Amino acid sequence: EGHRPLAGRHVLITAGPTWEAIDPVRYIANRSSGKQGFAIAAAAAALGAKVTLVAGPVSLKTPKGVDRINVESARDMAEVVRNSLPADAAVMVAAVADWRPKEYRAEKMKKRGSAPPALVLEENPDILTNVAASDNRPPLVIGFAAETEDVLDHAKAKRKRKTCDWIVANDVSGDVMGGDLNKVHIIDAEGVESLDEMPKLDVAMALVERIATTLNEQDAE
């Protein structure tokens, strides 16, 4: 059996980028590899959780014991997340596109020798904020904050703004995106726990152990 402190728990995770279609052949994307979110899914499953992993377009193998649902756009991701509640913990790791093209062109846009088309954008739903505000709010809602400057201050503000329980802040000014190492700070209402730089799999294991401990403490209250 081993160490299964998340047995009987449902952990809902988002990971990867989203793609926001412009026309049938073009889209807006970002550099998220999905590695950290997939590692968290693997770690939660290894500790006995039922894991739902809502994944944007990435080329990663589904971790053992994980239920994976593939999505493309932020709106698809938001709907799948909503339909996957309730959960004991939500860990929103996806690098959701902030904006999408306001209109989708059903036919491939053509160069006509004239000026390039203007790309008009509109805001996507904030999945993390919506989960944290939902009637079905998981007891533990965790967001990520990829920052390039004033990492802790921005992340603390984000925790309050998005009304989540924890924010995992990481400094992405280096080559974190796509890499195998990560350095994170876990911020909750009490303060900051800073972890050393370590493989994303070890970050994942530390985070899910902390999730298990916190859920068990909540139950004991």
- Residues designated catalytic: 30
Find all residues with CB under 8 Å of 155, minimum gap 6, and list them: 145, 147, 167, 169, 185, 187
3-class state of residue 113 by DSSP:
coil
Residue 183 labeled ligand binder: no
Beta carbons within 10 angstroms of residue 57's beta carbon:
16
Rg of the chain on CA atoms, in Å: 18
d(CA 221, CA 218): 5
Name the residues that contact ligand C5P, by CB under 6 A.
14, 74, 92-94, 96, 124-128, 143-145, 158
Name the residue nearer to ligand C5P (CB basis): 55 or 145. 145
Residue 142 labeled ligand binder: no
Name the residue nearer to ligand C5P (CB basis): 71 or 93. 93
Q: Least distance to ligand C5P from the beta carbon of 128, Å?
A: 3
In contact, 170 and 8? CB cutoff 8 Å: no
Nearest alpha-carbon partner for 172 in 144, 194, 143? 144
Residue 180 labeled ligand binder: no
Residue 64 labeled ligand binder: no
Structure tokens belonging to residue 163: 């009304």
Name the residue nearer to ligand C5P (CB basis): 50 or 159. 159
Residue 219 labeled ligand binder: no
Q: Least distance to ligand C5P from the beta carbon of 97, Å?
A: 7
d(CA 91, CA 204): 11
Name the residue nearer to ligand C5P (CB basis): 126 or 165. 126
Instruction: Return binding residues for CTP.
Output: 98, 108, 125-128, 144, 158, 162
Instruction: Return binding residues.
Output: 98, 108, 125-128, 144, 158, 162
